[in-house]
Amino acid sequence: MPEDRPVSAMTPGQLLARGVSRQLRQAHGFACLEELAPTRGLRVDVMALGAAGEVWVVECKSSRADFLSDHKWEGYLDWCDRFFWAVDADFPVDLLPDGTGLIIADPYDAEIVRMGPEAPLAGARRKVVTRTFARHAALRLQGLRDPGGQDRPG
């Protein structure tokens, strides 16, 4: 998602992801990517990579219906060391499963209310996740720097 996109053009979930990404970077030193597919068939809202290689996944839910329609979230657990839900202050948090982290967010900031339990990735999986993260980050940066570059032959 381009950084220069006006807040008014973002979906409610993207607004939550923006606040979460800001908080994770400023308070915890994480680099974040939004809408990242760690494997075919899964797309996480925010994947965060820490300085020590830790990987957190944050799923942003803007409404009860948004949460109830998510049937893939448990598949994300295999791709992170910690898992969190990010919701706004009005979300009915009693819907969220026990044993998951909770972040209350808005478009500008967020607060970790409940730390997600740690379930360390296996070394081989961590390597795949880190490579996927790095490749996607580099391709997105390259696309911003040279938007027409991917259309060139060769």
In tens, the pLDDT along 56-65 reads: 999 999 999 9
- Cα gap 79→39, rounded to integer Å: 9
What is the C-alpha to C-alpha distance for residues 111 and 117, in angstroms, rounded to an integer?
A: 16
pLDDT at 153 over 90: no
Structure tokens, 82: 């910690």
In 6-150, beta strands by DSSP E: 31-36, 44-49, 55-60, 82-87, 101-105, 110-114
Q: Is the pLDDT of residue 5 over 70?
A: no
> In the predicted model, what is the mean pLDDT of residues 134-140?
96
pLDDT at 43 over 80: yes
- At residue 1, the pLDDT reads 40
One of 3.40.1350, 3.90.25, 1.10.10, 3.30.160 is the CATH number of 7-147, namely 3.40.1350
Q: Give me the pLDDT at residue 4, please.
A: 57
Average pLDDT (117-141) is 97
Element at 143 (helix H, strand E): helix 123-145
**Average pLDDT over every residue of 117-137:** 97
Distance CA 99, CA 84 (A): 10
DSSP assigned state of 68: H
Asked whether residue 39 carries a pLDDT value surpassing 50, the answer given is yes
Domain boundaries, given as residue ranges, for the chain:
7-147
The predicted structure's pLDDT at residue 8: 74
User: Is the pTM value of this prediction over 0.85?
Assistant: yes
pLDDT digits (tens, 9 = 90+) for 81-100: 999 999 999 999 999 999 99
pLDDT score, position 150: 67
Q: What is the mean pLDDT of residues 49-54?
A: 97
CB 140 within 8 A of CB 2: no
pLDDT band with cut points at 50, 70 and 90 for residue 2 = very low
Q: Is 107 exposed, middle or buried (0-12, 13-18, 19+ CB in 10 A)?
A: middle
